[in-house]
Amino acid sequence: MLAPPAFAHTPATGLGPLADGAARLVLEPADLLLSIALVLLALQQHPPAVRRVIVLLPALWCLGAVLGQALPRELLLAPLITATFVVVALLVALQIRLPPWLFTGLAAATSLGFGVVNGSLLSGHAGSLSVVLGEAVALAVFAVVLAMGLEGLRFRWRAIALRVAGSWIAASGLLMLGWQLRHPQ
């Protein structure tokens, strides 16, 4: 009859920590928006970029989250997190082609960074590793489904849809950034 432990940064689905992690992706959508922006950017680059993102994003996010849990305190970097996905989304909206090494580096650094920050927020909670795993699996599934779905679109419409989506994500991020600067943590 004991109440389950409450996680400040995790929604409680009642289905266990793995499901809580997956739900976290949707209910605290900074990671979701980064993953969308990275997949969209990958689709605008050279063909292997999509495969790289699908592998790098969940793997490095998970690694970062595990590393972040070892940090002594929470990393409260919400404006930096938001600014990061705004930049990635702006690259999509402006349809900027990056050299392959730069794109791979950007995807790796942002995935790892987001993972570290998330891991630090979850550190100290019992079952947090399961939450991390749940979110990493959800990220992987989401990235694959999104990439597959968009690959099938006709190229001209896809190019427009990607840019529009990029502008929407960047705009959401800019509003969010203003909100965070107005109401600091």
Position among 59, 120, 164, 185 found at the interface with other proteins (CB under 8 A): 164
Q: Which of 79, 91, 93, 111 is nearest to 175 (CA)?
A: 79
Which of 2-10, 25-33, 103-111, 126-134 is the region at the interface with other proteins (rule: CB under 8 A)?
Answer: 25-33
- Residue 33 binds other proteins (CB under 8 A): yes
Max CA pair span of the chain: 58
Q: Is 37 helix (H, G, I), strand (E, B) or coil?
A: helix
- Residue 178 binds other proteins (CB under 8 A): yes
- Residue 171 binds other proteins (CB under 8 A): yes
Position among 30, 41, 88, 155 found at the interface with other proteins (CB under 8 A): 30
Q: Is 143 helix (H, G, I), strand (E, B) or coil?
A: helix
Q: Rounded CA gap, 86 and 169, in Å?
A: 7
Q: Is 12 helix (H, G, I), strand (E, B) or coil?
A: coil
* 8 A C-beta contact, residue 5 and residue 125: yes
Position among 2, 101, 154, 182 found at the interface with other proteins (CB under 8 A): 182
Which of 49-57, 98-106, 135-143, 176-184 is the region at the interface with other proteins (rule: CB under 8 A)?
Answer: 176-184
- Residue 139 binds other proteins (CB under 8 A): no
Q: Which residues of 78-94 are buried (b: 16+ CB within 10 A; e: fewer)?
A: bbebbebbbebbbbbbe
- Residue 173 binds other proteins (CB under 8 A): yes
- Residue 93 binds other proteins (CB under 8 A): yes
- Residue 130 binds other proteins (CB under 8 A): no
Please report, as ranges, the residues that interact with other proteins according to CB under 8 A: 27-30, 33, 82, 90, 93, 160, 163-164, 167-168, 170-183
